[in-house]
Structure 1
Amino acid sequence: MITFGRWASSLRFRLLAATLAALALALLLAGVWLSGLFREHVMRQFEAALTLQLDQLTTQLELDASGQPVIDPQQLSDPRWRTPYSGLYWQLDQVSGDGAIRSGVLRSRSLWDTTLPLSADALANGTVHVHEGSGPQGAAVLMLERTVALGEQPGVRWRLIVAAETRQALEAVDRFTGVLSISLLVLGALLALAAVTQVAVGLSPLRGLQHALVQVREGRSARLQGRFPSEVQPLIDDFNGVLDRNAEVVARARTQAGNLAHALKTPLAVLGQAATQALNAGDPANPRDTGPALARLVHEQVDTARRHIDWHLAHARAAAAERLPGLRTPVAPVVLGLVRVMQRVHAERHIDIDASGLPDTLAFAGEEQDLQEMLGNLIDNACKWARHTVVVSASSEAGRLCLRVEDDGPGIDDQARAAVLARGARLDESVPGSGLGLAIVTDLARLYGGDVRLETARLGGLGVALSLPAAD
């Protein structure tokens, strides 16, 4: 289960979080700005229409013969002036020289028996003021006023007022805001989907890189393979260069170890051959003849030296291979090859070595020579102690490779099993060997992060369970 902390630290989360936060902020600001812009536009149009009504009313204002103001309703084009509480109203107030106001000298039929309340303010003749207020029945209205002077009436001015309810205009603004909000939400969802797709497509090479690394780790490839963007390719090239240099270092170390082994094995082979000849040429009937005893000692020490050289070579090879990625060794071919060799080596004992149950899909994440070294020692040891049968089996679970070698020999007591794994330990000197076989297996297995366990075999003898990293 992926924890939130791990998800929050991922590159995908950071990109998506930053992108979605920026999108949300941009859409929110755009929605507020567009809604405000539309409201301002509607109210300007609303005010412009009222200004036209005020101009029409101003042109119809006259004084009769007695000096009283007159406006002919029939000359006003909008029928709403004549409909009670229609939402469009006009009113004429008288402003005396001392500032006293007589409201409703004339008014439209739409006002019925009400007047438009408007506070007194100083207006120059012809100047238009805009007010928001309350009209008939408490409705919100927008009012425009203009003061004019008529005839030869000093100190008397007339204030013309037109007003219209803003409900319909504000409802239009609300409808636009609702549609705009839905549109921006849909746009935000599409942009979020595009952002997710962009992040997924942009980071897909990283998934390819992860797959390539898994291929290297599991031993399916020695280098990072695949096609990557130009921004990632330099990293791939550098990493492959590191793998190549590491492989060169390991190959050089192996070559040097092999040269050292050949340099030592040749003198040892000469000493061993000379000891064998001296052992064969000695006189067993002459107790003073120390040649056979010396030859036997030299022969044993040469064999021990060879085993030590093999052990150190295997140890050095495994130590280098354990740090080398891309290693993969199928198990079945190695085991079957060792079975054929052991059947020839122990042909005089007629041991039945059964390795028929090995799956073909199992593979060891390490060097083939190391697997041969470990299994060779285990199978050889089992053949030495078995009465009739040796069984080799293998299985894989949770990334671990479990190899079992069992025999039907006498087995080993629980108290003695720990001592057997010690380097050079031998429980029975009558059986040939140097006592290094199980120690080599144990050391090699530990270098690969595995282990060796001694158990009681199902055949009744000793069972050795070897745990190693699996390539799959």
Structure 2
Amino acid sequence: MLATLWSGLALVVIALVISALYRQSAERAFTDLLRAQLYNVINSVSIGENNSLVGNPQLGDLRYSQPETGWYWIIEPLGTFAAAPLSSSSLGVSKIAVPSILNVPFNNRYERFYPLTDAFGNNVLVAETEVVLDSEGRAARFRVAGNLDAMEEDIRAFDRSLYVALVIFGVGSLIVNGGAILFGLRPLDRARRALGKIRQGEAERLEGDFPREIMPLVNEVNALIESNRRIVDRARMQVGNLAHSLKTPLAVLINEARTLEPAHQDLVRSQAEAMQAQVQSYLNRARIAAQRESVLVRSDVEPVLERLIRVMRRLNPDKDFNLQVEPGAVLAMEQQDVEETVGNLLENAARFCRTGVWLSAVATAEAPTGETGDGARRTWLEIAVEDDGPGLDPGQADEAMKRGRRLDESRPGAGLGLSIVREIAGEYQGGFRLVRGIRGGLRAVLVLPSVSRDVA
């Protein structure tokens, strides 16, 4: 764009400069023509018998013999020389005014040039000089006038031709430059599409035939993706190792708690189960943190939610489960985290609903509360799970999201589901809230980072 603007500005400047130079050249040539014709007239006139001016200048231009053309020559005696003046037939009986020497002085060649308007409305330029014709000192004023309008018309014709040529050249240059840019950027466009496939999870590296100019960039991007993948794999392996190493000791503690006295049994078991939940929670945090910024972590929303709905329908045949999802929605999350968060919400909704559960996933422009940094540049997906149960008051909603808190002790559960959902959403810099739905029940709303299918 900048190069195009610069080229257009350069063409305008070039046009103005060439036009100004041509005008200077035309005016100089016009002045030289009048000077040459002036001296031609001087050489064609002399003093004849009876002290009269005689001569018939032949300037080779028919305009000096045609009336009202603006091309004239005039010879007027000066001082005591009382001869009759001579003039071209184009002037007829008209006169051309003579300005004062104070207003238009002679130059060092004893010439002067001045513009004026003749009796016919022509703008003319007059070249004038005074010449002594004989040894007796008799002198005459010689003037030759040329039509300035003719020169201006010639300049305008040149400008029109110049502007047309430059416009054609400029448009042709834009077309050529546009074609060169489009052709030259095609490899980058291929790279953009290949990167888009990576963002969508359809490829794991930049693949394709790229010119050698951008191959270093392609290699660096592939190296970065490979390094990111190794980091994620290493983090997953470490998380798995830690989970495996802690799983057995915690299971032993829980089993041994059964052999203790009832007074101590509940205490040891509850603490061991809390330790197990805490370990799992922090293992999830470590895994999510290791892959949160990876361009390879992508989940198609529609198939995941459809699979969860099918499972819930089999487990709860007496309840209705309704799904509304935006086609092509993609979350920047790992699939198991999507399943865990939405699955927890569906289980809670199925437990407390009267007749059915409604699950929806739609794009939203509203970032989660408290989102900072680059949140303004992200896209978000709002996943809502709503039931027609008794619902919760605002105070109860805050209490329900605390770890281990259960508002209804008569129903099964450990009181960890909603707190886990909130923690996972927070790790992905998303949001989670509980509000009352339009059906009177609870509406659980997740706002999670999404990825647009249009990566352009």
Inter-partner Cα distance in structure 2 for 1:356 and 1:255: 38
Partner of 1:3: none
RMSD: 4.8
Q: Kindly provide the amino acid, as one letter, of the partner of residue 330 in structure 1.
A: D
Matched, 1:467 2:415: no
Relative distance call for 1:136 and 1:416 in structure 2 (3 A) is closer
Matched, 1:142 2:122: no
Aligned counterpart in structure 2 of residue 173 of structure 1, from 127, 134, 151: 151
Inter-partner Cα distance in structure 2 for 1:459 and 1:80: 99
The alpha-carbon deviation at position 438 of structure 1 amounts to 0.7
Aligned counterpart in structure 2 of residue 309 of structure 1, from 265, 279, 284: 279
Matches within 5 A, 1:102-251: 102=81, 104=83, 107-108=86-87, 110=89, 129=111, 131-132=113-114, 137=119, 140=124, 142-143=126-127, 145=129, 147=131, 154-156=135-137, 159=140, 161=142, 163=144, 165-167=145-147, 170-187=148-165, 189-190=167-168, 193=171, 198=177, 202=181, 238=220, 241-251=223-233
* Structure 1 length-normalised TM: 0.69
Q: Kindly provide the amino acid, as one letter, of the partner of residue 241 in structure 2.
A: N
Q: Kindly provide the amino acid, as one letter, of the partner of residue 177 in structure 1.
A: I
Matched, 1:426 2:406: yes
* Structure 2 length-normalised TM: 0.71
Matches within 5 A, 1:245-284: 245-272=227-254, 274-275=255-256, 279=258
Q: Kindly provide the amino acid, as one letter, of the partner of residue 44 in structure 1.
A: D
The alpha-carbon deviation at position 466 of structure 1 amounts to 2.3
The alpha-carbon deviation at position 439 of structure 1 amounts to 0.6
Aligned counterpart in structure 1 of residue 23 of structure 2, from 20, 35, 43: 35
| Unaligned stretches of 5+ residues in structure 1 | 1-11, 95-99, 283-289
Inter-partner Cα distance in structure 2 for 1:230 and 1:175: 56
Contact 1:222/1:325 (<8 A) preserved: no
Relative distance call for 1:74 and 1:303 in structure 2 (3 A) is closer
Partner of 1:402: 382
2:289 partner SS: helix
Matched, 1:71 2:54: yes
Relative distance call for 1:131 and 1:334 in structure 2 (3 A) is closer
2:20 partner SS: helix
Partner of 1:7: none
Q: Which moved more, 1:23-32 or 1:406-415?
A: 406-415
Inter-partner Cα distance in structure 2 for 1:84 and 1:225: 83
1:44 partner SS: helix
Relative distance call for 1:455 and 1:356 in structure 2 (3 A) is same
Q: Kindly provide the amino acid, as one letter, of the partner of residue 373 in structure 1.
A: E
Relative distance call for 1:143 and 1:196 in structure 2 (3 A) is closer
The alpha-carbon deviation at position 15 of structure 1 amounts to 4.5
Matched, 1:378 2:345: yes
2:73 partner SS: strand
1:452 partner SS: strand
Inter-partner Cα distance in structure 2 for 1:45 and 1:296: 121
Relative distance call for 1:45 and 1:455 in structure 2 (3 A) is same
Inter-partner Cα distance in structure 2 for 1:73 and 1:131: 23
Q: Which moved more, 1:26-35 or 1:113-122?
A: 113-122
Matched, 1:21 2:1: no
TM-superposition CA deviations, 1:215-243 (whole Å, max 9, x none): 76676776678888877665565455445
1:426 partner SS: coil
Percent identity for Structure 1 against Structure 2 = 29
Relative distance call for 1:175 and 1:451 in structure 2 (3 A) is same
Q: Kindly provide the amino acid, as one letter, of the partner of residue 453 in structure 1.
A: R
Aligned counterpart in structure 2 of residue 393 of structure 1, from 353, 359, 379: 359
Contact 1:402/1:468 (<8 A) preserved: yes
Inter-partner Cα distance in structure 1 for 2:173 and 2:240: 58
| Unaligned stretches of 5+ residues in structure 2 | 365-378
Partner of 2:372: none
Contact 2:53/2:83 (<8 A) preserved: no
Inter-partner Cα distance in structure 2 for 1:319 and 1:73: 106
Relative distance call for 1:304 and 1:49 in structure 2 (3 A) is same
Contact 2:38/2:142 (<8 A) preserved: no
1:166 partner SS: strand
Contact 2:37/2:59 (<8 A) preserved: no
Inter-partner Cα distance in structure 2 for 1:49 and 1:122: 18
Inter-partner Cα distance in structure 2 for 1:314 and 1:131: 96
2:396 partner SS: helix
Contact 2:198/2:295 (<8 A) preserved: yes
2:383 partner SS: strand
Inter-partner Cα distance in structure 1 for 2:265 and 2:4: 80
Contact 1:123/1:147 (<8 A) preserved: no
Matched, 1:48 2:36: yes
Inter-partner Cα distance in structure 1 for 2:85 and 2:10: 58
The alpha-carbon deviation at position 161 of structure 1 amounts to 2.8
Q: Kindly provide the amino acid, as one letter, of the partner of residue 249 in structure 1.
A: I
**Greater C-alpha Rg:** 1
Q: Kindly provide the amino acid, as one letter, of the partner of residue 27 in structure 2.
A: R
1:357 partner SS: strand
Partner of 2:304: 334
Relative distance call for 1:262 and 1:173 in structure 2 (3 A) is farther
Inter-partner Cα distance in structure 1 for 2:67 and 2:217: 82
Inter-partner Cα distance in structure 1 for 2:353 and 2:114: 113
TM-superposition CA deviations, 1:440-468 (whole Å, max 9, x none): 10121123333223244677654423222
Relative distance call for 1:135 and 1:376 in structure 2 (3 A) is closer
Q: Kindly provide the amino acid, as one letter, of the partner of residue 307 in structure 1.
A: A
Relative distance call for 1:15 and 1:135 in structure 2 (3 A) is closer
